Amino acid sequence: MKSRFKKILILATAALYGFPFLYMGLMSFARRWTYPSVLPDLLTIEHWRQLVVGQIEISYSFLLSVVLSLSVAATATIGGFITSKYIAEHRRSRWLLLGTYFPFILSPVIYAAFIYYYFVWMDLTGHVAGVFIGHLLLAYPYAIILCTGFWSRRSRKMEEVARTLGSGPWTTFARVLIPLARGILLMTFFQTFLISWFEYGLTTLLGIGKIQTLTLLVYQFITEANIYYAALSSFLLLLPPLILLLFQRRWLLYKVKGEW
């Protein structure tokens, strides 16, 4: 009886967890879905066709989001890895790490409100470069936090061996430490990609509505009551994390933390 109840509970959880994906997928194919129908009245592939041939702004926003998030992830991972070594080996590493935590924990939109004036002053608002820097300010501290765990006695020993063989600091970094940290670097890359990919508040404020990433487009479609396109954009937003889920689900665990 107890195990049957457990099975029912597990099945109910599975249904509950799978429902948002099904719902968004179905809605992206809907043409008409009036009250009180539980399923769409009419289905169409038109929205998806328009997306593929680039007839709607979603295609542009999708490409912009992909390029932006990949650039942020690459820069944050490299910068974060280099900085994490400095922090891990610093005698006041605890305080430096606290300073790193702070911008990462703060609400991104409130952080954006604080730095907004400087972005206006430097004429960075409403530009992709400004949004890129804004995303980097969120992703870089997180990359440091993730990479700090890599530096240990083992990594130090490897570094020392390389140095005794005549390797310079950059060569040691490129040929010894980076290959050694491949796993953590890949995880950091995907995590910081997701931070940028999911970012909404900071992008709204610093992009002043001109930089339409996919998250902003979802909200715009909702406010325009264009729910089918909102569902299509939402479904596209789910794609990269879904791919991660299939191939390396453990890397997703940090996603929620990444939104702090």
Partner 1 sequence: MKTSDNRWSGKFRSYISPERLGAALWPVLTVVPLLAGIGYAVLYSLGGVGLLSEGWTLQHWREALTDLHLLKSFAYSIYVGILSIVTSISLALCGTLVFRSQVGRRWTGMLLYAPLAIPSVVTAFFVYEIFAQSGWLSRVLHQLGLLGSADQFPILIQDPWAIGIITAHVAMAAPFFLILFLNTYQNEQIDELRRVASTLGAGSLESDWKITIPVLFHRSYPTIVLYFIFAVGSYEIPLLLGASSPQMLAVNVVRNLQRFSLDTIPHAYILALLYVVVVIGILWALLRRKKLFYEA
As measured in angstroms, the least distance from the Cβ of 69 to partner 1 is 12
**How would you class 206 by CB atoms within 10 Å of its CB: exposed for 0-12, middle for 13-18, buried for 19 or more?**
buried
Q: Which is nearer to partner 1, 60 or 118 (CB)?
A: 118
Q: Which is nearer to partner 1, 53 or 226 (CB)?
A: 226
Backbone angles phi, psi at 149, to 5 degrees: -65, -20
As measured in angstroms, the least distance from the Cβ of 143 to partner 1 is 10
Q: Which is nearer to partner 1, 1 or 53 (CB)?
A: 1
As measured in angstroms, the least distance from the Cβ of 177 to partner 1 is 9
As measured in angstroms, the least distance from the Cβ of 236 to partner 1 is 10
As measured in angstroms, the least distance from the Cβ of 67 to partner 1 is 18
Q: Which is nearer to partner 1, 19 or 53 (CB)?
A: 19
Q: Which is nearer to partner 1, 91 or 170 (CB)?
A: 170
DSSP codes, the chain:
-HHHHHHHHHHHHHHHHHHHHHHHHHHHTEEE--TT-SS-SEE-SHHHHHHHTT-SHHHHHHHHHHHHHHHHHHHHHHHHHHHHHHHHHSTTHHHHHHHHHHHHHS-HHHHHHHHHHHHHHTT-TTSHHHHHHHHHHHHHHHHHHHHHTT-SHHHHHHHHHHHHTT--HHHHIIIIIHHHTHHHHHHHHHHHHHHHHH--HHHHHHHTTTS--HHHHHHHHHHTT-HHHHHHHHHHHHHHHHHHHHH-GGGGGGHHHHT-
Amino acid at 11: L
As measured in angstroms, the least distance from the Cβ of 158 to partner 1 is 14
Q: Which is nearer to partner 1, 141 or 189 (CB)?
A: 141
Q: Which is nearer to partner 1, 62 or 84 (CB)?
A: 84
**How would you class 203 by CB atoms within 10 Å of its CB: exposed for 0-12, middle for 13-18, buried for 19 or more?**
buried
As measured in angstroms, the least distance from the Cβ of 144 to partner 1 is 8
